[in-house]
């Protein structure tokens, strides 16, 4: 009887865990919505997209905050040389901090539903940095491809199943 009760308790615990919801930082292919990367996430935390500017050949770091699903504001951009598609002057309520040879732009008033990224094919090397994990986006989808980074809520079970599918796709690419 005790053994049956213990097995039942373990089964209930496992099912409850697999059904419990978590937030997930996802990278999906634009258009097809194919999931190519995911990582467990927490609301309120930030992630960076770091890349090399094609003209200045200098690093650019964009920082985003995970506020909620569909609400990912850019909170900061850091660069050390002006170039095309980079801010040229403060706009709206932005603040610029110039120190140690770098420009830090804060107080953006832009919120993304999902952060769009065209993965650099030659120089840019767009890299997702979250929670100490560094992921070159060219490793999860093809250089020149268009992806978006977003936040989702799913069960642990769904997360694990999708993680296996991503792993299987990556193994096929290697063979």
Q: How far apart are CA 86 and CA 93, in angstroms?
A: 17
Q: How far apart are CA 115 and CA 79, in angstroms?
A: 19
Structure tokens at 51: 């890349």
Kindly give the confidence (pLDDT) of every residue in the chain, 175 residues in length, as a single tens digit, with 9 standing for 90 and above: 777 766 656 655 656 565 579 999 999 999 999 999 999 999 999 999 999 998 889 999 999 999 999 999 999 999 998 877 788 888 888 899 989 989 999 998 899 999 999 999 888 999 999 999 999 999 999 999 999 999 999 998 899 989 999 988 876 665 5
Phi–psi pair at 137, nearest 5 degrees:
-65, -25
**Hey, which bits of 19-145 come out as E strands?**
21-29, 35-41, 46-52, 59-65, 72-79, 95-99, 102-106, 111-112, 115-118, 127-130, 133-136
Q: What is the pLDDT of residue 11?
A: 59
Q: What is the pLDDT of residue 17?
A: 61
Q: What is the pLDDT of residue 16?
A: 57
Q: What is the pLDDT of residue 18?
A: 59
For the chain, the structural domain boundaries read: 22-174
The predicted model scores a pTM of 0.88
């Amino acid at each position: 009887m005790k053994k049956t009760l213990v097995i039942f308790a373990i089964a209930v615990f496992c099912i409850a865990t697999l059904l419990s919801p978590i937030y997930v930082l996802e990278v999906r292919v634009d258009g097809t919505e194919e999931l190519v990367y995911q990582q467990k996430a927490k609301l309120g935390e930030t992630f960076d997209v770091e890349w090399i500017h094609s003209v200045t050949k200098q690093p650019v770091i964009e920082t985003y905050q995970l506020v909620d699903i569909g609400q990912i504001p850019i909170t900061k951009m850091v660069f050390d040389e002006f170039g095309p598609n980079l801010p040229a002057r403060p706009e709206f309520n932005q603040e610029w901090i110039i120190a140690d040879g770098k420009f830090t732009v804060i107080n953006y008033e832009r919120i993304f539903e999902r952060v769009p990224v065209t993965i650099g094919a030659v120089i840019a090397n767009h890299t997702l940095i979250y929670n100490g994990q560094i992921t070159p986006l060219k490793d999860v989808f093809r250089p020149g491809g268009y992806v978006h980074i977003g936040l989702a809520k799913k069960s642990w079970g769904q997360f694990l199943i999708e993680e296996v599918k991503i792993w299987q796709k990556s193994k096929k690419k290697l063979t």
